[in-house]
Structure 1
Amino acid sequence: MEVEVKLRLPDSAAHQKVSDLLSPFHLKTHLQENIFFDGASSELSSKFAILRLRFYDGDSLCVVSLKAKATLIGGISRVEEDEEPIDPSIARACVSEPLRFGSVINSNRILKRARDEFGCGDKGFVCLGGFRNVRVVYDWEGLKLELDESQYDFGTSYEIECESADPEMVKKKLEEFLTGNGIPYSYSKLSKFAVFRSGKLPE
């Protein structure tokens, strides 16, 4: 179970202010490309699950993830997540032709789970599309903060996230940081995938 605090920033100005304040604590920046898939008969989405390929910094790394049973309440996200690296060249081929997943399904634990637990792939896979994300990672007061700029076809959204086993403590700490610096925020109500699927930025 992945547990994260997710706070939404209203605009690029708030995002820039957070970026400036956290710059001394910068660890790394990733350019991510997220592509989502379902079974041809909606085997995953009908059970509230998601299959995602995430490419990092071009094709330097690709990870396949299976997410299920997601909740997002009061800015705290909980989701069952399982992931495993996959050869980026194979992943790109699967994006172009999702039927190619069939040739690698037995050699990848996540794809096997999608088939064995959800029946996904028996009739093939379909690509749902995706979005790009610029993720900047910081080590701030013992926390690993991730500042996201998510670029959808219909606009850009901004979010700060932190994975923790004690989300209430982290949320309080982040709220104090943002409020103390006059940065507006709200609790994220939708996952990035849900925003992508809705076709519009959250209100």
Structure 2
Amino acid sequence: MEIEVKIRIPNYENYKTLISVFAPFHVKTHNQHNNFFDGVSGELSDRRAVLRIRFYNDPPVTKCIICLKAKALLVNGVSRVEEDEEEIDPGVGQECVSDPTRLVDLAESSRIMKRVKDEFFGGKKDGLGFKGLGGFKNLRNVYEWKGLVIEVDESSYEFGTLYEIECESSEPEKAKELIEEFLKKNGVEYSDSVASKFAIFRAGKLP
């Protein structure tokens, strides 16, 4: 179970202020390319699950992660979601993006794809089918601050840009309070996130 604080930053001006005040705590930056998939008959989405392949950094890609998420719940700026991740060869990931039917073959070597086959397709060997849903880019700046790992995201959709803070924590309410105090102190406007990045992508508009 992944538990994260998710706080939305309303616009570019506040985002730039946030990046500036967090600058002393910066540790790394990721260029992420997110691609999503479902069964051809909605086998995953019908059960509130989504399959994602994420590439890190612009070409040359340095890392590729396949991820299965399920049963997401976002309440009062705290997200709880079942998440399972696995690193795969970037070349194989690119093949799956270009041709989602390659995901069927990946079930032979990937723990996560074997889970998908067993849990969402009843373990059958024939009749598995996948479709690509598209995706979006995300620029992620990572900071270490007050014992927390803070991720500040600039997510670029075809219909607009989302700015968001994420912070994974076993004590989300405490972490959220610390972050909000920091934002108020530095004059950064914010609000609780009300939808996941994937939900926003599927809706086709910013909340």
TM range (shorter): over 0.9
Aligned to 2:127: 122
Question: TM-score with structure 1 length normalisation?
Answer: 0.97
Task: State the AA in 2 paired with 1:26.
Answer: H
Is the deviation greater in 119-128 or in 12-21?
119-128
| Identity in percent | 55
- Residues 1:138 and 2:143 are matched in the alignment: yes
Structure 2 Cα separation of the partners of residues 122 and 98 of structure 1? 14
Is the deviation greater in 52-61 or in 114-123?
114-123
Deviations 1:99-131 (A, max 9, x none): 111222110001111110111883311000000
Is the deviation greater in 22-31 or in 98-107?
98-107
Aligned to 2:169: 164
Aligned to 2:18: 18
Kept in 2, the 8 Å contact 1:41–1:123? The answer is no
Kept in 1, the 8 Å contact 2:37–2:131? The answer is yes
Which secondary structure does the structure 1 equivalent of 2:101 belong to? Answer: helix
Aligned residues: 202
Aligned to 2:41: 41
Give structure 1 stretches of 5+ with no counterpart.
Answer: none
Aligned to 2:51: 51
Aligned to 1:193: 198
Which secondary structure does the structure 1 equivalent of 2:13 belong to? Answer: helix
Instruction: Map 1:91-106 to 2 at 5 A.
Output: 91-106=93-108
CA RMSD in angstroms, aligned pairs only? 1.1
Deviations 1:20-68 (A, max 9, x none): 0010110000000000000011000000001000000032110000000
Give structure 2 stretches of 5+ with no counterpart.
Answer: none
Deviation (angstroms), 1:176 = 0.5
Task: State the AA in 2 paired with 1:114.
Answer: V
Kept in 2, the 8 Å contact 1:38–1:44? The answer is yes
Aligned to 1:64: 66
- Residues 1:183 and 2:185 are matched in the alignment: no
